[in-house]
Structure 1
Amino acid sequence: MTLPFPNDPAMREALSERLRFYRELGIGEFYRRPVDEAAWTQAEPEPQLEEARVAAPPEPVRREIPAAAAPPVRNAAIFSSQIEESLIAPRKPFPAPPPQAAALPPEQHFAALKLIREEIGDCTRCDLSKGRNKIVFGDGHPEAKLFFVGEGPGADEDAQGLPFVGRGGQLLNNMINAMGLKREDVYIANVVKCRPPANRTPEPDEAHTCSPFLFRQIDVVRPQVIVALGQTAVTYLTGEKKPLSAWRGTVHPLRGTKLIVTYHPAFLLRDPNQKKHAWADLQIAMRELGLTAPARK
């Protein structure tokens, strides 16, 4: 039986984030294990799980089935310890980011970014290359004081080879303008530079393969403030998996600059009520940059 996915955008975002959390912890195989569903629904409850159950509702009457047809009894203690071990020590820990490169004179920033793009080349380092149209390297001022980091390209970005040019990009442009800046004043890049299939969240191996190029872009531009747009961006920038609420509202140190976290524009399009909270995050960035919002006309 397939359960319907909720229509509420906030609930969809929360469920998607929880699934990404479990996948990055490497415990997805527990719910992918093939099971004889007919036998499972007819079998008696496992003794270990039954003992731990508190105030459980009465079990429905089940018809007797031959013992050979019942699924093998799993050891609940072992099962629980495997989950606990996965939560404490993820199977694929975050690799250390590359060492921070020496600062370059401003006049060399453009050429340095061009060299990074040339090194990426027609990249086939991960499976995302198989379905992409164009590599989306980055866009903006090579000496920008403000650097936005997103998750990955979407369909419009994949077609044009530029980050944030679809509906989410239009909203990001509005956010930048509200700060008293123009898009050409900032720099924009993503954790991965090829579009994930169906706009899914990048897999850890894909993000780990591509993120070193992002760190090198940051080291060249040397912004005063980095704004991480969404959970994926802050996770791979910091190497820490925490809820977005634990990051927002505070300035964090990152590679000699200041990191501020807010919602991804795509999420704000699904839940416009969160825009006021995103604006509060951007005002923190403005204070760090010494900016004043332009007067509304």
Structure 2
Amino acid sequence: MDRLVQEIIADLKTYLEYLRGMGIVGLPTSEDRPREVFLNSSLPPIPPTLEEVRKELGDCLRCKLHRTRRTLVFGEGNKKAKLMIIGEGPGHEEDVQGKPFVGKAGQLLTKILQSIHLSREEVYITNIIKCRPPQNRNPELEEIQTCYPFLLKQIHAIQPQIICALGTFAAQTLLKTDAKITTLRGRFYEFTPLESPAIHGGDINKSSRRVESTTIPLAESSLRHRKGEGKASSSLTGLAGIKVVPTYHPAYLLRNPERKREVWEDMKQISKWMVSHVGIDSYRDGTSQPVGENRR
């Protein structure tokens, strides 16, 4: 009996930690009151630092992945990067080393970045979820929703100009759509953050607002969320204006090398956009140089 009580208390603690991570600061305690959830109405006016976000995340026990993971993989790279790379979740090597994209897929990602004259040190790399799913299965909705508030805070801390979403789940989570990566890839979208993503459920609006690029015209449709899917928060207005470009995940390219040309075209569009809209980068040592030009 004592063991059962301890397990119940542990599960309750995990659930409460999950709610706190989602920004829930109060719950109704009476049947007579409306069943409302009170969301934290604002992020700090000054973006948090990545160190503060990592400290808040702690030794996360908010979902069941903590039971099977070896290491929490937070992310790494330039804290003021103009380009942010967001994948799906850690794999075996990442779980061992505690760093994102260090396996074969990570080696390919390094080459992809080098193809547009960028290094890993000049971008920031992270994943939608921070813990490896067992057997590298697809992330579950609860796991995505648990990590999502911390991903938003990472984005808020870095303030990137553009996000490259690698793979189906990263693209669908960031764009709030269940459209296939083959449809989404290579196009520019506005980042419309929602506090509570609801995806992969089959009842998601597939239209997303594309933004003007050198080759992709502005689409008429915009990403709309339906009642109950979550809502855009006034607290997230500091994330407005960020562009999202989905492309294939490097792990997919290892299995389907014929798709590498498409990723190369997608990355060239990102490079061209950064040259025309950002103008210069200001990475590592503070030196300025047009993005996409050869480094000497």
Using the size of structure 1 for normalisation, the TM-score is 0.62
SS at match of 1:193: coil
Instruction: Give, in whole Å, the separation in 2 of the partners of 1:192 and 1:154.
Output: 11
Instruction: Give, in whole Å, the separation in 2 of the partners of 1:292 and 1:213.
Output: 28
- 1:230 and 2:167 aligned: yes
Partner of 1:161: 98
Instruction: Give, in whole Å, the separation in 2 of the partners of 1:262 and 1:248.
Output: 5
- 1:250 and 2:187 aligned: yes
Query: Against the structure 1 CA distance between its residues 284 and 169, is the aligned structure 2 distance closer, same or farther, given a 3 Å change threshold?
Result: same
8 Å CA contact retained: 1:103, 1:220: no
Partner of 1:278: 263
Instruction: Give, in whole Å, the separation in 2 of the partners of 1:295 and 1:182.
Output: 12
Instruction: Give, in whole Å, the separation in 2 of the partners of 1:295 and 1:166.
Output: 27
Per-residue deviation, 1:268: 0.4
Instruction: Give, in whole Å, the separation in 1 of the partners of 2:186 and 2:61.
Output: 38
Instruction: Give, in whole Å, the separation in 2 of the partners of 1:98 and 1:129.
Output: 25
Deviation string, structure 1 residues 103-130 (Cα, Å, up to 9, x no partner): 748xxx6xx1111111111111111100
Partner of 1:210: 147
* Structure 1, gaps ≥5 residues long: 1-96
* Structure 2, gaps ≥5 residues long: 1-38, 192-238, 276-289
8 Å CA contact retained: 1:138, 1:190: yes
8 Å CA contact retained: 1:142, 1:187: yes
Query: Against the structure 1 CA distance between its residues 234 and 100, is the aligned structure 2 distance closer, same or farther, given a 3 Å change threshold?
Result: farther
Instruction: Give, in whole Å, the separation in 1 of the partners of 2:115 and 2:125.
Output: 17
**Root-mean-square deviation (Å):** 2.2
SS at match of 2:165: strand
Partner of 1:126: 63
Per-residue deviation, 1:245: 2.4
Match for residue 268 of structure 1 among 231, 240, 253? 253
2:79 partner amino acid:
P
SS at match of 2:84: strand
Query: Against the structure 1 CA distance between its residues 247 and 195, is the aligned structure 2 distance closer, same or farther, given a 3 Å change threshold?
Result: same
Deviation string, structure 1 residues 136-167 (Cα, Å, up to 9, x no partner): 00100100000000000001000111000000
8 Å CA contact retained: 1:163, 1:169: yes
8 Å CA contact retained: 2:117, 2:294: no
Query: Against the structure 1 CA distance between its residues 98 and 267, is the aligned structure 2 distance closer, same or farther, given a 3 Å change threshold?
Result: farther
Instruction: Give, in whole Å, the separation in 1 of the partners of 2:159 and 2:116.
Output: 20
Query: Against the structure 1 CA distance between its residues 103 and 189, is the aligned structure 2 distance closer, same or farther, given a 3 Å change threshold?
Result: farther
Match for residue 137 of structure 2 among 192, 196, 200? 200
- 1:150 and 2:150 aligned: no
Deviation string, structure 1 residues 179-233 (Cα, Å, up to 9, x no partner): 1111100000101000000011111111111111111101110111100001100
Query: Against the structure 1 CA distance between its residues 273 and 176, is the aligned structure 2 distance closer, same or farther, given a 3 Å change threshold?
Result: same
1:228 partner amino acid:
A
8 Å CA contact retained: 1:125, 1:209: yes
What percentage of residue pairs aligned between the two structures are identical?
43
Q: How many correspondences in the alignment?
A: 196
1:160 partner amino acid:
Q
More helix by share: 1
2:178 partner amino acid:
K
Quick check: which has more Rg, 1 or 2?
1
